Structure 1
């Protein structure tokens, strides 16, 4: 995918990917993100999602979706952030 940044970080920058993958990554981050802001940084589980989609491998998206929905409901802050596709 042509990532031009440090590979050992827990956060990956969307700007460090090559042009053909930037829009695809942008779409995945905005669709499956559980946060309101910070859409330029990808966490490691989001990289696993993108990699599974690019390589056409099986990946259990529902575990991540339900994990972060549960985390939003049980957090101390009462601002609930739902997934954009739900």
Structure 2
């Protein structure tokens, strides 16, 4: 793989009211009470050797209309599906939105103060208030597949932000699973979602005390 771990991808969100977070207390309270709080903040001990084994052996397995991701860690089979991700990350988002229609995205972003009316499908964090910038940046760094270009985001992440703003659920489980599947054969493959993969490995393998 051309790139291994991305330090700024799938980071742990620190939702504490520290001095550096002054002025963002309302957004911190909102995220702390949301259904994505666990996924944002869970902080497992990541064993590099486990993550490497997983991604070096991962392949996509189709059975009827069911798609799974399969890999080996310590010669034990790891199976990942959308359902597994939903359970491990405590998301409860099976009925959530996958992606809103474009017109609903434009309207929804305008309703939360997006100051750059456009018909383009790339959106920019800089044109939101500081409160929304904080929320968007948190989502992008913790839950999206992005590794760089934090000022911009696509329709899928726009849908997630709009759903959160309206108290609706976005299907992060499907987004994360589909991203993992796409990463397997991607030309820019990297060690995606190490926090979440580690949680799944711990759940399915058990004792990892021999790893570093």
Cα distance in 1, alignment partners of residues 156 and 173 from structure 2 = 13
With structure 2 as the length reference, what TM-score do the two structures score?
A: 0.37
Residues 1:84 and 1:38: Cα distance change in structure 2 (over 3 Å): farther
Residue of structure 2 in register with 1:75 after alignment: 186
- Cα shift at 1:35: 2.6
- Cα shift at 1:14: 0.4
Q: Deviations over 1:53-78 (max 9, x none)?
A: 1111122111111111111112134x
Please list every run of at least 4 consecutive aligned residues from structure 1 whose deviation after the TM superposition is greater than 6 angstroms.
none
CA RMSD of aligned residues (A): 1.6
5+ residue gaps, structure 2, are 1-111, 197-212
Cα distance in 2, alignment partners of residues 84 and 17 from structure 1 = 30
Residue of structure 1 in register with 2:7 after alignment: none
Residue of structure 2 in register with 1:8 after alignment: 119
- Cα shift at 1:36: 1.5
- SS of the aligned residue for 1:65 comes to helix
Residue of structure 2 in register with 1:50 after alignment: 161
Cα distance in 2, alignment partners of residues 85 and 54 from structure 1 = 25
Of structures 1 and 2, the one scoring higher in RCO (CA 8 A, sep 6+) is 2
> Computing the radius of gyration over CA atoms, which structure comes out larger, 1 or 2?
2
Alignment of 1:27 with 2:138, yes or no, is yes
Cα distance in 1, alignment partners of residues 187 and 135 from structure 2 = 33
Cα distance in 2, alignment partners of residues 24 and 84 from structure 1 = 22
With structure 1 as the length reference, what TM-score do the two structures score?
A: 0.86
Cα distance in 2, alignment partners of residues 41 and 25 from structure 1 = 10
